[in-house]
Amino acid sequence: MDFEKELNEEQYAAVTAPDGPSLVIAAAGTGKTRTLVYRLAWLVKKHNIDPRNMLLLTFTNKAAREMLDRAETLIKRPFKSSHSGTFHSFANRILRSHASSVGFGCDFTILDSDDSKKLLRSCADDLKMDKKHFPKPQVLQSIFGVISGQMGDLADGLYERFEHSDVDVEDVIAVHDLYQKRKKEQNAMDFDDLLIYALQLLEKNERILRFYQDEFQYILVDEYQDTNAIQARMVSLLAKVHKNIMVVGDDFQSIYSWRGADFRNFLDFERHYPGARTFKLQINYRSTPEILEVANAAIAHNPDQFQKELKAVRPEGAYPISAQLRDGGAQARYIIEQAQQLNRQGVAYSDMCVLYRSHFHAMELQMELARASMPYVVTSGVRFFEQAHIKDVCTVLRILVNPGDEMAFTRLIELFPKVGKKTSLKIFRKLGGRVNLQTKEMCIKVEEALPAAAREEWKKIEPVFLAYREENLDADPGEIIYRFNKAFYNEYMVENFDNSKYRAEDIDGMIDFTTKFETTEAFLSEIALLSNLDAEPGAPAEAEPADAFRLSTIHQAKGLEFKVVFVLFLCESMFPSTKAVEETGDSEERRLFYVAVTRAEDRLYLCSPEVRRQRDGGIIFLEPSRFLREIPPHMMQKDHGFF
Catalytic residues: 32-33, 222-223, 253, 599
Rounded distance between C-alpha atoms, residue 505 and residue 574, angstroms:
10
Q: What single DSSP character describes residue 313?
A: -
For residue 33, what are the contacts with CB-CB under 8 A and spacing of at least 6? 63, 66, 67, 70, 222
What DSSP line would sit under 76-90, residue for residue?
A: TS----TT-EEHHHH
Element (H, E) at 247: strand 245-249
Q: What b/e readout covers 570-605, taking b as 16+ CB neighbours within 10 angstroms? A: bbbebbbbeebbeeeebbbbbbbbbbbbbbbbbbbb
Q: Is 229 marked as binding a ligand? A: no
Q: Is residue 360 classed exposed, middle or buried when 0-12, 13-18 and 19+ CB atoms within 10 A define those classes? A: buried
β-strand 352-356 against 549-553: which pairing, if any? parallel
Element (H, E) at 378: strand 376-378
Q: Is 32 marked as binding a ligand? A: yes
Q: Is 288 marked as binding a ligand? A: no
Q: Is 278 marked as binding a ligand? A: no
CB atoms within 10 A of CB 302: 18
Q: Is 27 marked as binding a ligand? A: yes
Q: Do residues 333 and 366 touch, judged by C-beta distance below 8 A?
A: no
Mind spelling out the 3-state secondary structure of 455-498? HHHHHHHHHHHHHHHHCCHHHCHHHHHHHHHHHHHHHHHHHHCC
Rounded distance between C-alpha atoms, residue 31 and residue 39, angstroms:
12
Q: Is 312 marked as binding a ligand? A: no
For residue 296, what are the contacts with CB-CB under 8 A and spacing of at least 6? 309, 310
- The helices-and-strands tally (H runs, E runs) of the chain is 30, 19
Long-range contacts of 105-109 (CB under 8 A, 24+ apart): 105/187, 107/187, 108/187, 108/188, 108/189, 109/186, 109/187, 109/188, 109/189
Q: Which of 467, 461, 523 is nearest to 487 (CA)?
A: 461
Rounded distance between C-alpha atoms, residue 91 and residue 377, angstroms:
36
Q: Which of 180, 202, 176 is nearest to 189 (CA)?
A: 180
Binding site feature residues for ATP:
26-33
Binding site feature residues:
26-33
